[in-house]
Amino acid sequence: MDVDGVLTDGRLINLPAPDGTMFETKAFDSQDGIALQWLSWHGIATGVISGRVSPATVERAKQVKMSYVYQGHIEKIPILEEILAKSGITPQETAYAGDDLTDVVVMRRVGLAIATANARPEVKRASHYVTTAAGGQGAIREVAELLLQAQGRWSDILKKYEVD
């Protein structure tokens, strides 16, 4: 998945550091976070391909057990190809969530292309599924539930938390 606009609402927050420089941070959704961990529990590898470089993204990826973290890559096809080679899965077995034009090229090459509710219209047209939630507001939670339901594993999550 992309980061800004998918795992976040796309806003970049600049805060002053003690030395007077500016420090960039991002806000991530907690429900997205737990859902990404559920995917990890069930052997579904996750990762990000982002055009921006951010320490906040690296930290979030560790927290939610992502397998792949690529930053500073506006050209995403070589990264997709590298991930597919490392993972041994096919493009048809891959899902990708995006919100902006740089994501469309990846979306056209995977089995499940997902656009967030806040995605550009062109991105939505290139997708197989558009989330009802916006990026940074539960879109990835929605995707995780969709994937777990498709694999017959959602009931395991509900049972774990004693939900009928």
Domain ranges of the chain: 13-160
Separation between Cα atoms, residue 6 and residue 26, nearest integer Å: 12
Three-class SS string for the chain?
A: CCCCCCCCCCCCEEEECCCCCEEEECCCCHHHHHHHHHHHHCCCCCEEEECCCCHHHHHHHHHCCCCEEEECCCCCHHHHHHHHHHHCCCHHHCEEEECCHHHHHHHCCCCEEEECCCCCHHHHHCCCEECCCCCCCCHHHHHHHHHHHHCCCHHHHHHHCCCC
Of residues 68, 119, 120, the one with CA closest to residue 94:
68
Q: Which fold has domain 13-160?
A: Rossmann fold (3.40.50)
Taking residues 43-60, report their average pLDDT.
Answer: 96
CA distances 105 to 71, 76, 79, 126, 138, Å, are: 17, 8, 12, 9, 24
Taking residues 59-64, report their average pLDDT.
Answer: 98
pLDDT above 90 (res 41): yes
Residue 138: is it exposed, middle or buried by C-beta count within 10 angstroms (0-12/13-18/19+)? buried
Give the mean pLDDT of the chain: 97
What's the pLDDT band for 164 if we cut at 50, 70, 90?
Answer: confident
Residue 98, φ and ψ in degrees, nearest 5: -145, 175
Q: For residue 109, list its beta bridge partners.
A: none
Separation between Cα atoms, residue 68 and residue 140, nearest integer Å: 16
Taking residues 136-152, report their average pLDDT.
Answer: 98
What's the pLDDT band for 124 if we cut at 50, 70, 90?
Answer: very high
Starting at the earlier edge strand, list the strands of the sheet with 95-98.
Answer: 95-98, 112-115, 129-130
pLDDT above 90 (res 163): yes
Share of the chain above pLDDT 70, in %: 100
pLDDT above 90 (res 90): yes
What's the pLDDT band for 146 if we cut at 50, 70, 90?
Answer: very high
